Amino acid sequence: MKCKFKTHILFLMAIGIILGATPAWADRTPYDWAMIQLDYVRQEKMDQLERFMQKIHTLARKAANDQTVVSFFEMNRHYHNAGQSQETPTSLSTDVEKMRHHFNGYYISNYFVFYDILFVDTSGSIFYTLRKEMDTHTSLMDKKQSLGFLSDAFVNKPDKEIFIDFYGYGPSSEPAAFFVEPVEKQGVKVGWIILQCPINKLNSIFAATDDLGQTGETFLVNSRGLMLTESYFKGESTILKEHLDGRNIKVKFQEKKGHRVVTDYRGAKVLSSFEVFEFLDARWLVVAKIDQDEITTDHYKRHSKYYGDRLLKYLKAAPLTPSDKAIPKGHPSALRVDMDEFLKAQNNEILETWGVSTCTALVAALPERFGYLAHISPIDRIYNKNDTNLVSQITKKIKSFDVYSFERRNVVFTVIANHLDSLRNIINLLVEDGFFLSQIRVSYNSRAKSAAIVYDYGKDDLTMTWTMNPGEGEPVVNDIKDTMNVGMIIEEIMSIENDNAISLKKTL
């Protein structure tokens, strides 16, 4: 009998997988698959980074032994020293400028990957640079003229090659790293050439991240926890400006390679794959990450019927708890939203509507910036009708006029109704428009006859006053803290069902 039961269960599992009815039976969760994808992308960036750093390292070593470079070094050193003691003839200056012009072409053909080359004598004086920036004719030994980490590296006059990690380099007004290469003439050290590496070459490796959805990105972090690459989720530069959580970064450097679920620099919960990259004396952290919300939402989209049913069942079993908030007074100057209408507040106006019974109210807002309120009747698309489509009109306006793409994650939608007839369609419309489940909240009260809604986007103050059905008591007031987050509910359902699936497999 037990054998027949086990065979029957396995048959049902196979049918469920084919029909997409029971997504929880997979050997790996959606988050596991996301980590595998992150590993692939992270390794790809590691390989690209290694090839690039080896390339410029090889070029730096080559430059130090390039007789054309060494001869150019010597010419400029002698010319500089001669000019210190006497006035140089015009003809000599003309010849030197011709040689410099010729060398510039050689530099462009062979070493243009470096932003600049600095030529330094044994006293630490920078006697010539190709770019002729503010570092020309300064001394690396003079504390009053300090060039930061570059000057610090010359305290002991390095006898061997050193690499100075990226930092804000004042003369170039941008981040730079340096290869310091000793220069010898007939076995005697005559100084150093310093090859300046711009950050843009490194940043370009991490700029394009394919197959990681809306929120996926890869970036580089130094041992001080500062980002070395740009974030495309911030409106301003993050290079050497965005300081990541020290505890998180310290642990990752200690572990060297692995996975973590963390709260990132934007405050979002993310899945991350990381590995430490070591290059000479520098240690960097290569990170590939994606928002957990995006993985949850994509999984929901692929199994919307399955999880939609469970979401409704969950909400029906989770009664709304009244708050102790008083019934709000009327606002004479508020923007009143009528049925089959939505309005936008952006000049500190307050939005309100009432009589939401067979209808659905929707608030869409970026707190402190703007707010929309819609009063959607049963003739709308969310009720499978075609007279209106207010949800799509609102999202189109938000995406076209109200927010930059990197701000879209901060928009919050709140669905308010005494029924669940429209919720599934609203969720489907929002996720198809690129929003995540975690951005959707629900206020559902099945015991209410209707609701009145007041929203102040400046304070993110949402108040719902429910007029109860006969026999259900006095009006009930709820606020934004009483709403339920759809993303969190779906994650809880996924977790429970995955645990159940694991337990069941162990018994088979």
Give pLDDT tens digits for 146-196. 899 999 999 888 899 999 999 999 999 999 999 999 998 888 899 999 999
Element (H, E) at 451: strand 448-456
SS3 for 377? coil
pLDDT at 47 over 60: yes
Q: What is the pLDDT of residue 331?
A: 77
Predicted TM-score (pTM) of this structure: 0.85
C-alpha closest to that of 258 among 277, 283, 275: 275
Q: What is the mean pLDDT of residues 122-135?
A: 93
pLDDT of residue 6: 40
Handedness of CA 59, 60, 61, 63 (dihedral sign): positive
d(CA 177, CA 284): 13
Q: How confident is the model at residue 363 (pLDDT cuts 50, 70, 90)?
A: very high
Which of the pair, 471 or 324, is modelled with greater confidence? 471
- Residues 493 and 504: beta-carbon distance below 8 Å: no
Instruction: Enumerate the H helices of 86-168 as residue ranges.
Output: 90-110, 149-153
User: Does residue 438 contact residue 270 with C-beta atoms inside 8 Å?
Assistant: no
- Strand, coil or helix: 294: helix
pLDDT exceeds cutoff 80 at 24:
no
Where in the chain are the domains?
27-49+201-293, 56-186, 303-495
CATH class, domain 303-495, is alpha beta
- The SS3 of residue 84 is helix
| Residue bearing the bigger pLDDT, 30 or 245 | 30
- CB of 55 within 8 A of CB of 195? no
Q: Name the fold adopted by 27-49+201-293.
A: Beta-Lactamase (3.30.450)
Band (pLDDT 50/70/90 cuts) for residue 14 is very low
Q: Per residue in 407-460, pLDDT tens?
A: 899 999 999 999 999 999 999 999 999 999 999 999 999 999 999 999 999 999
Q: Are 373 and 408 in contact (CB under 8 A)?
A: no
Q: Which two tokens stand for residue 111?
A: 């070493």
Average pLDDT over residues 43-56: 95
Give the rounded distance of the alpha carbon of 86 from its chain centre: 58
Structure confidence at residue 342 (pLDDT): 97
pLDDT higher at 176 or 318: 176
Task: Say whether pLDDT at 341 is over 60.
Answer: yes
pLDDT of 374 > 90? The answer is: yes
pLDDT band at 498; cut points 50, 70, 90: confident
Q: Any idea which of 19-23, 218-222, 394-398 has the lowest mean pLDDT?
A: 19-23
**Higher-pLDDT residue of 494, 22:** 494
pLDDT tens figures, 284-294: 999 999 999 99
